[in-house]
Structure 1
Amino acid sequence: MKLGSIIKYYRLKNHLTQSELAQDICSISHLSKIENNSYDGNAETVELLLKKLNVNMEQEEEKYEELKEDLQSFYDSMVFYDLDTADKQYANLIKQEEFASSTDLINLYHLYLFKYYIYKSDQEKMNQTQKVIEKLNNSFSPFESLLASFMVGLAFVKENKIIEANDQFVTLMTYNPAEAITFNGELYYQTALCASILNDPESSIIHANKALNIYQNENNFVRIIHTKMLLGIGYMRLEMYKEASEIYRSLIRVTRLLHKKVLYYQVLYNYSAMLTEMGDYKKAREFLLECKGHFPRGSLEDIINKLGLIETLIKLNEDKNEIGKIIDDVLTMCDKKQHKKYIIAANMYKYQLFSQPKYYAYLENIVYSYYIDNSLFSEAREVALKLAERFTETGDAKKSLDYYIQYSDLSKKGALK
């Protein structure tokens, strides 16, 4: 706790100039040095300044320790994904900003708020807090600098800038001093998440296992579930279906017993995606139908679940008109700016059902370029193969060869770069 900052805080709060406070106590330059924490001042001078400001240092120290404890508890709630508790703690912390600004806790105060706004997807407050953090950057401790870099990575993830986020996290791992241990689990988890999104299952599994080890030692139950879901996805993509199935069955049981309904249905969806890939469309449909109605209408989970259901119904040759109704429902729910990827997927299914020529034209002119432009290289690879096969059928050897080459290039790069 910096005494000079406390004196400055209460001087400004009492609307006093440095000249007015220093009068009959010390020189203005002497007070300035104390307030800037470049000089402690002798005990008698400090006592007179505090008395003039009517400040009880014992009470200030108690407030400081209380704020310190509140910040740590707030951070822990987010690490343990107890967001309901974090909401309540945030309401209390936001009232303490003025006092926090008078202490050396101000950096952590804004860093933790930044993390909270990221979790809440509050873009406006994220932007505002990021500007504050940039101004505070020169006063950061080594730990705070690392934490700020980690938060920037989280913001990249939230903004769907996955390659930038991955680069940020990988760079952080090259530093990773002992004092950064407090967020190592999150660092490994987020790196695993980025690798999963970028379709690098080997890397995702490696980092997910590191995160899992830390979360298990911390008894961080929600994050254990999240991490095991990443492992399930990784094993599925490596066609290690037995290992993935064991994870999903375990998670279904655990989330049901813990009454984690949202997580339960997320696991069911992931399991259904694997079953679809394995060709077990009936079982996949069963899980997708169980999920139906349990995600908030229009939420990302609701949209993705319905798209999964559309795919399985197409594979099962169900009634086209009924499938078309679900597609139209998805298109109605999608926001043109936020859900462009899912609008494209819904339109792709619609053309696939009702017009093969339009379907392949849409794949070539819209879908493929969108996937490439947005670094969705695994999806782009699948489209390249479909187009190569299509042009082989239609006798367009040049285009067929071109797409086979693109498919090969994407495969060689591991569908990543």
Structure 2
Amino acid sequence: MELGSMIQFYRTKNGLTQKELANGVCSVSYLSKIESGAIEPKPDTVELLFERLKMDYEKLTSYDVPTIHNQINQLYKHISNKQLDQAKSIVNELKEIITPFHDPDLQKYFQLIHFYYLIVQDTTNKLSMNLQELMNLEDTFKGEKLFYFYKIVGFYYNCHLNSKMANQYFHKAIEILEEQNLRDPEIYYLLALSYMGMQKPVYSNYYVGMALEQYANDLLYRKVTDCYHLLGINYLNLGAFDISETYLQQVLQSKPMGDSPTVHSRVTHNLGIMHERRGDLDQALKFLHDALEHHENLYDVAHSTIMIAKIYFQKGEHHLAEEYIKQGESKLQGSNLTKIRHRFYILKHQLYNKTHDQAFIDRAENVILPYYKSVGETALTQELLELLAEVYTEKQEYEKAIEYYKRLTNINN
């Protein structure tokens, strides 16, 4: 990067005019010639200019393209390992160093990995504008960087509960992984996670097994524990409750992962769901209330809250169901957790016996069902299809009821 362009960039970034920067250092015309590249300034003049710009000239000039590229690689590793303090330090450094005058490919690579950092830093942030900008860069990435691109975009969709889209991008990433002979066990874990979200536990178990084998070989026991947790959820969804409980209890007893508040609360939540499916509603409530007390993430809070409300509804304790529905809806205000919002909407209408209202039916058919389909949410689709079939049966609109029972049968097959 040319010295004059660098000075002009940081001067503009600091909101200084040429006159303000040159004052007491050199003439305005001399500075203008420096910025245009017409002259080579004296070293002492350069030092004074950068001192006024509050920039370390030696540090700036020590960052050549290979050095910056290596820093971006380090940033990716820190993010993947959830070392966000180290990642933040590198992000701040690179944002200061990289300018529009650097190699375009380098800028795009940083934009990609910086997007990854933003997602991991706050998984509830939609970053839709950043995603649209990033998608325009897809054709500019090749090889390993294209692998990162597909993996990161898939990770974005996974964080925002669109397992279907996440799954598509993770498969694209694995194609590149195999073509380029790369190694990354996390992509198999993420793919397994997306299949879990799509309620395809057999597929999920296949890929989590691939991730687990590589993590175990690398002695990454925290990651192994993550795999056990996912296996516990998958066996729960398969109805193999004893196997599920074995894996979930193994996670709780593992050190140090079992002591993590996030891990503890999520495993406890899943144990609550397991007991609910077994029909032991009181034990389910015990686990879910425990989870709710320790959750740190809004989605986790909302998920446990809807389950507690649902169980109270099943038990006929409608005043408590109503209380937790109100709590959940209040906490979700201003959030973008669409899937869980729909669940509260449906349960509230069930509680108030409003599922026969045309407004509810229209929303269920035209908004909620299409949304569930778009994100690959099979289990909730089944629940809603069954509810609509029952509603139309009770309304004696038998043709519509049969239509929904057929759709339900097709999903189950």
- Classify the TM-score, shorter chain: 0.7 to 0.9
> 1:131 maps to which residue?
133
Separation in structure 2 between the aligned mates of residue 106 and residue 189 of structure 1, nearest angstrom: 29
Q: CA deviation at 1:243?
A: 1.8
Cα 1:95–1:388, aligned 2, differ >3 Å: closer, same or farther? same
Separation in structure 2 between the aligned mates of residue 179 and residue 113 of structure 1, nearest angstrom: 23
The runs of 5 or more residues in structure 1 that have no matched partner are 1-7, 23-55, 413-417
The one of 366, 373, 379 aligned to 2:363: 366
> 1:52 maps to which residue?
none
Deviations 1:292-320 (A, max 9, x none): 332248x1211111111112222333x32
The one of 323, 330, 333 aligned to 1:332: 330
Query: Residue 355 of structure 2 contacts residue 391 of structure 2 at CA under 8 Å; is this kept in 1?
Result: no
Q: CA deviation at 1:117?
A: 1.4
Separation in structure 1 between the aligned mates of residue 330 and residue 191 of structure 2, nearest angstrom: 34
> 1:411 maps to which residue?
412
> 1:165 maps to which residue?
166
In the TM superposition, 1:8-407 aligns within 5 A as: 8-14=1-7, 16=34, 20=38, 67-98=68-99, 101=102, 105-121=106-122, 127-128=129-130, 131=133, 134=136, 138=140, 140-177=141-178, 179=180, 181-182=182-183, 184-254=184-254, 259-296=259-296, 299-317=298-316, 319-335=317-333, 338-355=336-353, 358-361=354-357, 364-374=361-371, 375=373, 376-392=377-393, 395-407=396-408
Q: CA deviation at 1:373?
A: 0.9
Q: CA deviation at 1:83?
A: 3.0
Q: CA deviation at 1:196?
A: 1.4
The runs of 5 or more residues in structure 2 that have no matched partner are 9-33, 41-56
Query: Residue 150 of structure 1 contacts residue 169 of structure 1 at CA under 8 Å; is this kept in 2?
Result: yes
Question: Which segment is superposed worse, 186-195 or 259-268?
Answer: 186-195
Separation in structure 1 between the aligned mates of residue 250 and residue 138 of structure 2, nearest angstrom: 45
Cα 1:127–1:343, aligned 2, differ >3 Å: closer, same or farther? closer
SS at match of 1:176: helix
Separation in structure 2 between the aligned mates of residue 269 and residue 339 of structure 1, nearest angstrom: 18
Cα 1:136–1:13, aligned 2, differ >3 Å: closer, same or farther? farther
Query: Residue 251 of structure 2 contacts residue 258 of structure 2 at CA under 8 Å; is this kept in 1?
Result: no
Q: CA deviation at 1:14?
A: 4.9
Separation in structure 1 between the aligned mates of residue 395 and residue 103 of structure 2, nearest angstrom: 73
Q: CA deviation at 1:387?
A: 3.5
When the two structures are aligned, how many residues end up with a matched partner?
368
Q: CA deviation at 1:261?
A: 0.8
Question: Which segment is superposed worse, 150-159 or 386-395?
Answer: 386-395
User: Identity of aligned pairs, percent?
Assistant: 16
Q: CA deviation at 1:152?
A: 2.4
Query: Residue 232 of structure 1 contacts residue 244 of structure 1 at CA under 8 Å; is this kept in 2?
Result: yes
> 2:31 maps to which residue?
none
Cα 1:189–1:95, aligned 2, differ >3 Å: closer, same or farther? same
Cα 1:378–1:133, aligned 2, differ >3 Å: closer, same or farther? closer
